[in-house]
Amino acid sequence: MLFDTHAHYDDERFSKDADELLSSMNANNVGLIMNSCSSTDDIPRIFEFIKRYPFVYASVGVHPSETEKLTEKDMDILAEAAAHPKVKAIGEIGLDYYYNDPPRDIQKKWFARQIDLARELKLPIIIHDRDAHADTLSILREHHAEDIGGVFHCYSGSAEMVREVLDLNMYVAFGGTLTFKKSVRPAEAVKAVPLDRILIETDSPYLTPEPHRGKRNSSLYIHYVAEKLADILDMSCDDIEKITTENGLRCFNIQEDI
């Protein structure tokens, strides 16, 4: 069974059919899903999913684009939600310099604060790094993220940067962008990651892989990512499935036989 390590079923694009979709996962070889959180407003909906579906786990955290109005009260909300046994990470947190909104200093402040929260709670982190590699790495180092580990979601760095990511005890997750034509750089990055540190994800409803690019994404398309990975690494899909699922369980400390 495949493990989609990053999806957003609380997104409004799933408001009509999230249950229908999630009910169809196991019959389609999707055995585990990590629902990633973007703001404290998402938490009630995410909790409905983790309570209803045994194979859905969650993170709680605030995406860099949502940090403008954050206060310490939000950190209390995250800490309280993280007490649920199916909350396995703090995320997605990080820096987004593509939009630069809110300003960088606000994004940096709350990225650092949420790393510290993860450390207090002894949870790994899910990192969103868009066009912000240098600052992301330096904040992770300053706040000793290597002690808690986690994952660079939708990895967009270079093959050279992989070494620095590994030194921080992070896993490296690849998604639909790997299947896009002209995506030479991610393929090189894939080859630079040791097999025991690779994860796969969809980031549903975003980043739909080929051949469905342009449509809404769902975890039912995770196999396209696995197949592309198998192709790049010259391995069988079965091996990729086994390896990435085991890695996901280890990354998020999930005790489950699958």
Interface with Ni ion by CB under 5 A: which residues? 36, 203
State in angstroms the smallest separation of the CB of 30 from Ni ion.
17
Query: What sections of 62-102 are H helices per DSSP?
Result: 72-81
Buried residues in 152-188 as b, exposed as e (16+ CB within 10 A): bbbbbbeeebbebbbebbbbbbbbbbbbeeebeebbe
Other Cβ atoms closer than 10 A to 225: 26
For Ni ion, the closer CB: 59 or 245? 59
For Ni ion, the closer CB: 36 or 244? 36
For Ni ion, the closer CB: 74 or 203? 203
Give the helix, strand, coil percentages of the chain, each rounded to 5.
50, 15, 35
Ranges assigned E (strand) in 43-197: 56-60, 87-96, 125-130, 150-152, 170-174
Query: What sections of 179-257 are H helices per DSSP?
Result: 184-192, 222-233, 237-251
- Cα–Cα distances in angstroms (integers) from residue 61 to residues 58, 146, 157, 228, 239, in the given order: 10, 19, 22, 30, 32
For Ni ion, the closer CB: 6 or 133? 6
Question: By the 8 A CB rule, do 5 and 26 touch?
Answer: no
For Ni ion, the closer CB: 129 or 203? 203
Angle between the N-to-C axes of helices 222-233 and 237-251, in degrees from 0 to 180, rounded to the nearest 10: 110
Which residues sit opposite 174 in a β-bridge?
A: 200
> Exposure of 51 by Cβ count < 10 A (0-12 exposed, 13-18 middle, 19+ buried)?
exposed
Q: Which residues, 6+ apart, have CB-to-CB distance to 11 below 8 Å?
A: 204, 205
For Ni ion, the closer CB: 153 or 228? 153
State in angstroms the smallest separation of the CB of 98 from Ni ion.
14
State in angstroms the smallest separation of the CB of 172 from Ni ion.
15
